[in-house]
Amino acid sequence: MRKVYLDHNATTPVHPDVREAVAPFLSELFGNPSSIHWAGRDVRKPVEDARQEIAAFFGCQPLEIVFASSGTESDNLAIKGIAFRKENAGKHIVTSTVEHPAVINTCRFLESQGFRVTYAPVNRQGIVEPESVRKAITKDTILVSVMYANNETGCVMPIEEIGAIARESGVLMHTDAVQATGKIPVDWKSLPVDLLTFSGHKINALKGAGGLIVRKGVEIEAVLHGGHQERGRRGGTENVVGIVAMGKAFSLLRAGMEQEVRETRRLRDKFENALFGRIPELVLNGHPARRLPNTVNISFRFVEGEALLLNLDMLGIACSSGSACTSGSIEGSPILMAMGTDPVDAQGALRFSLGMGNTDADVEYAVDAIEAVVEKLRAMSPLGVKEAKAR
């Protein structure tokens, strides 16, 4: 069966150059980077080289990077790290309604610990409006955490404006840039941001490695207590393989991101235009322009997203629905619901995210398959397109 992978926002295939770069670390380069003997030194240097490479990509200082086990851990470290360090200054955090669970559930945990959290709304197109963040800030606020780009809709948030508002108010700013990294330029030097999360497996490196950039001078409380690794900010022997993989992936992005993104955008636009041209009753979820170049989220009216996803899976097409099955009924994605999407449209939504390895032939195969499956499901639906239109 032909396989077409259109779920790069969930995870990405490992780049062949990354695979090659990590191979020695699965055999002869096995040391612990904290050891002072040759075996340790053999791996300490590659870890620090990777740090340099990542710093060069973002434009930050190498020592501003704290390696962690994932985007999730880095989000935890940013938010809990500031909350517990600054709780004497205030116990209020501002975030948004469309954050990844790594942020939302960290905030929910902090609420159980006596912090107050304001979830700034998004507009109908899924964008956090800077003014809503301004309104939410109080004199008790210690942190604003708003994602750079949304994983489900691809919406790119006005992080410069939101960060500027946080700065004006003397509040620290965190952004989860897990989805933005490698897809749009992220320039640490010009961003009014104090903490920034990235993750390896979204950029063709390995799962289980990520990091947090912490602006020089900003102090955070450790979340993982242990050894002195990462200058006491994150205990635990470094994931050498994961870090070396990220170093290589970032060096590849530095060399070829523009071209890679141009090609992905071309394929995404071709895919999107073909779907909208050939299938009636589609709704684009999210902002048409302020959007990651690889992502498209579409509601297929009169079709259940899960049914469409499973039928496409049987044809070898991997994509994603943000909906969840709760007590037997399918609930639309919380992100789409937070945007004010019609609940029925939210149930019929699928996310397609393109990336390395996708081809014109993939797009053509997927469009044909989606058209056929949607037609089949709509014909079976108690509320077919024709009847619905006639209502």
Ligand X SMILES: Cc1ncc(COP(=O)(O)O)c(C=O)c1O
Return residues touching ligand X (CB under 6 A).
Answer: 70-72, 75, 100, 102, 147, 151, 176, 178-179, 199, 201, 210
Cβ 211 to ligand X shortest distance, Å = 10
Residue 167 near residue 192, CB atoms below 8 Å:
yes
Which residue in the list 60, 107, 155, 325 is annotated as catalytic? 325
* Nearest CA among 169, 19, 177, 6 for reference residue 89: 169
Min dist. Cβ of residue 147 to ligand X (A): 5
Q: State the pairing for strand pair 210-214/195-199.
A: antiparallel
CA–CA dist 233, 213 (Å, integer):
11
Element (H, E) at 283: strand 282-285
Question: Which residue is nearest to ligand X, using beta carbons?
Answer: 71
Alpha helices in 122-281 (DSSP H): 130-136, 159-168, 240-278
Q: Least separation, in Å, of the C-beta of 98 and ligand X?
A: 10
The smaller minimum CB distance to ligand X, of residues 70 and 132, is found at: 70
Nearer to ligand X, 151 or 311 (CB): 151
CA atoms within 13 A on the CB side of 9: 26
Q: Which two tokens mark 93?
A: 């955090």
Q: How far is CA 207 from CA 43, 159, 381, in A?
A: 20, 26, 39
The separation between CA 112 and the C-alpha centre of its own chain, rounded to angstroms, equals: 25
269 CA to centre of own chain: 20
Q: How far is the CB of 152 from ligand X (least distance, A)?
A: 9
Cβ proximity to ligand X, 125 vs 381, nearer residue: 125
Q: Find, among 141, 140, 158, the residue nearest to 149 by Cα.
A: 158
DSSP H helical ranges for 137-211: 159-168
> With contact defined as beta carbons under 8 Å apart, do 287 and 122 qualify?
no
Q: Which phi and psi (to 5°) does residue 60 adopt?
A: -110, 180
Of 147 and 279, nearer to ligand X (C-beta) is: 147
Q: How far apart are CA 222 and CA 228, in angstroms?
A: 11
Strand partners, 176: 197
Active site residue 325: yes
User: Quick one: 12 or 251, whose CB is closer to ligand X?
Assistant: 12
Instruction: Identify whether the C-beta of residue 178 lies closer than 8 Å to the C-beta of residue 197.
Output: yes
**Nearest approach, Cβ of 210 to ligand X (angstroms)?**
5
Residue type, 151: N
**Closer of 81 and 301 to ligand X (Cβ):** 81
Burial group, residue 128, by CB count within 10 angstroms (0-12, 13-18, 19+): buried
Q: Kindly tell me the sign of the dihedral angle through the C-alpha atoms of 356, 360, 361, 362.
A: positive
- Which is closer to ligand X, CB of 158 or CB of 384? 158
Q: Which two tokens stand for residue 30?
A: 């096995």
Q: In the complex with ligand X, which residue's Cβ is closer, 70 or 299?
A: 70
Residues marked as catalytic: 325
